Amino acid sequence: MFDVLVYLYENYWRPEACPEPDQLRRKLSAVGFESDEIRDALQWLDGLDDSGAPLLAAPARLSQRVYLPREEDQLGPEGLGFLRFLESAGVLTPELREQTIDRAMAAGDGPLPLDELKIILLMLFWSRGEEPDALVLDELFDVPEDRVIH
C-alpha cells in the first residue's frame, strides 16, 4: 500500500491531478502494482476526506494528547517520539496530529515503521494541497543511517 501512496505523491502534483478511481486503478495496475495494494491504498486515501479528526481550539503547547494503548502499539515508541518532536517544533498542529493518528490506525496492524508514518504525513500534506516547508521535508525524507557525524 505504501509503495502506491509514494507513487501517487511523486507522480501527481495534487490529489485533483489524479485520474478518476477506475482509470487510476488501471494506470496503477499497468505500472505493476498488485490489485490488493491498489485497493488498500485507494481505500486509505478515501479516509483522508472523512477522517473526522476534531478541530482543537487550544494551541498545541497548551494541549496534551493521551494515547490509547492500541494507538501506542500501532505508532510504536519511535513513531510517538517523532510525532512529539514535530509537535514541539511547532510543525504538527493538533488537527494534523489527529489526522495522522487516524490514518496510521487505518494502515493496518502495528507497530508502524517510522518510514511509513512519514509517508502518512507526506500524504496528509499532499491531500491538503500544501507543500511542507523545507525543514519538514528534510525531516520526512531523512534517513538516520545516511547522516554524517562531524
- Residue among 141, 138, 48 nearest 96 (CA): 48
Asked whether the whole model's pTM tops 0.85, one would answer no
d(CA 26, CA 101): 30
| Helix spans in 2-149 (H) | 2-11, 21-31, 35-49, 69-88, 94-105, 114-128, 134-141
Whole-angstrom Cα Rg for the chain: 16
Q: Which residue is associated with the grid cell 510525532?
A: 83
Q: Is the pLDDT of residue 94 over 60?
A: yes
d(CA 56, CA 58): 6
Average pLDDT over residues 132-150: 59
Which one is predicted more confidently, 31 or 62? 31
Of the ranges 62-66, 77-81, 116-120, 136-140, which one carries the lowest mean pLDDT score?
136-140
Domain ranges of the chain: 1-50, 54-143
Q: How confident is the model at residue 19 (pLDDT cuts 50, 70, 90)?
A: confident
Q: How confident is the model at residue 71 (pLDDT cuts 50, 70, 90)?
A: very high
51's CB contacts (< 8 A; 6+ apart) are 98, 99, 102, 103
